[in-house]
Amino acid sequence: MKNWIVNHLPTKRRIVQLYSALLHNAYVKGFITGKMYLGGTKNLCVPGLNCYSCPGAIGSCPLGSLQNAMISSGTRTPTYVLGIIGLLALMLGRTICGWLCPVGLAQDLLYKIKTPKIRKSKVTRALSYLKYFILVTLVVIVPLVFLVPGFCEYICPAGTMAGILSFPNNSGWLSALGPFFTWKFTLLILIVVMSIFCYRTFCRFLCPLGALYGFFNKVALLGVKLDKTKCTDCGLCQGVCPMDIKKVGDHECIQCGKCISVCPAKAITWKGAKLFIKHNETETSAPLESVNLLGMVKPKVEPMQETNAQDVIETTRTIENTSSEVQTDEEV
C-alpha cells in the first residue's frame, strides 16, 4: 500500500516510545520493593528525562547528573557528563524528545483525552522560550553558585513522580521530593492537567533538556530536513506541527515526522536516511515509499511503465508508411 508506513508513522513512533519508557525503567523489582537500582548502568545517562530516584530507573537523568557533577566538581568542568549529553545531542537532537523520552510519552497520552484544546499562537511561541531561562538559571547558575540542583529541587516532575511511586514501600518518600513538596506536587498536578488541554506543556515551556537538545537540531545526524529547492512555502508543515516551530527542523521541532506525510512537494525527508538504505535503492530525494521503525525514509522506486504491443506495431507501421511516402516523393 502506497505510503502505508508514512501514513501510520504516529503508530510506529508510539511503539518506539513505549519500548523506550520500558527500557528507561526496566528494574521491575524496584516498583515492588520501593528500592532504587544501584547497578553499574546507573553510571550512564539515559537519553530522556527519567529521574535517578525512580524505583525502576536503570540509568541516570542527564540533567540530574549534570547538576550534581557541577556541584561536586567545583571549578572543574564535568567533562564526562557533558560528553555523554553532547554525544546524544549530536546523534539525535530533539528526536530524543519525540521518540525516546518517557515524560514526552506521558504527555502525548494525556493529550489524547477528548477535551477542547489550546491551539498554537504567538503566546505559546513566546512561552516556549521560558525553558531556556530555566536551563541557564536552575540547571547552570544555581548549582554552580548555591551548590543546589535547582531544576531537580524546584521543578522536575519526574522526581516528584519518583517519590510518589516509592510511597507504598518507602516511608521516606517525602525526602526524595525535597523541602518543596507542596510546591512540586502542585506543579505536577498543574502540568498533568495542562497537558490534557495543551500539547506537551512541559516539553514546550519548561523542559531544559529539550532546550539543550534543541541547540543541536540543525547538526544532529538524525531528524527531519527541508529541501528548500522543492519547498513551495504552502505552510502545511507548520499547520500540522503540534509544536511551536517557525520552520521545519528548528529548535522547537521534536522530529515527530507529521510534516513528512503532508508535504505536497515531497520537500521534507529524514537526515541520516542513507545509512539505512540499500545500495541498489534510489536516493532519499525520490518520492517516499515508507519509513522504517526509527523513522528512516525509504524512497519509492517507480516501476517501469509497461509497453503495449499493439502500440508498438502501430507505431512501426506509421514509421514505415512515412518512410515509403518520403521515398515516393524522392522518386518523383
Residue 317 lies in a domain: no
In the prediction, which pLDDT does 8 show? 65
Task: Report the SS3 class of residue 155.
Answer: coil
Return mean pLDDT, the chain: 81
Q: Please give the Cα distance from 97 to 208 (Å, whole number).
A: 11
Residue 229 lies in a domain: no
- Region of 148 (left: φ > 0; alpha: ψ -120 to 50; beta: rest) is beta
Is a pLDDT exceeding 90 seen at residue 21? yes
* 32 — pLDDT class (breaks 50, 70, 90): confident
Is a pLDDT exceeding 60 seen at residue 12? yes
In the prediction, which pLDDT does 174 show? 55
Which domain range does residue 178 map to? Answer: 4-214
Find cell 522506486 and name the residue.
301
Is a pLDDT exceeding 50 seen at residue 78? yes
* Tally: H helices and E strands in the chain: 19, 4
Separation of first and last alpha carbons in the chain = 60
Q: Please give the Cα distance from 125 to 194 (Å, whole number).
A: 16
Is a pLDDT exceeding 60 seen at residue 323? no
* 270 — pLDDT class (breaks 50, 70, 90): confident
* 108 — pLDDT class (breaks 50, 70, 90): very high
Is a pLDDT exceeding 80 seen at residue 248? yes
Residue 89 lies in a domain: yes
Residue 170 lies in a domain: yes
Residue 106 lies in a domain: yes
Quote the cell numbers at residue 182: 507542596
Angle between helical axes of 157-166 and 181-197 (0-180°, round to 10): 110
pLDDT tens digit sequence for 173-224? 555 555 677 888 899 999 999 999 999 999 999 999 999 999 999 999 999 9
Residue 171 lies in a domain: yes
With a pLDDT cut of 70, the percent of the chain lying above it is 74
In the prediction, which pLDDT does 170 show? 58
pLDDT tens digit sequence for 277-292? 443 333 333 344 444 4
In the prediction, which pLDDT does 147 show? 94
* 238 — pLDDT class (breaks 50, 70, 90): very high
Least confident of 8-17, 40-49, 218-227, 289-298: 289-298
For the entire predicted model, the pTM comes to: 0.78
For residues 106 and 193, the answer to whether their CB atoms sit within 8 Å is no
Domains contained in the chain, number: 1
pLDDT tens digit sequence for 44-66? 999 999 999 888 999 999 999 99
Helix locations, 142-280, DSSP H: 142-146, 150-154, 157-166, 173-177, 181-197, 201-205, 208-214, 236-240, 258-262
Is a pLDDT exceeding 50 seen at residue 314? yes
Average pLDDT over residues 122-128: 95
Residue 304 lies in a domain: no
**What's the length of the chain?**
332
Residue 239 lies in a domain: no
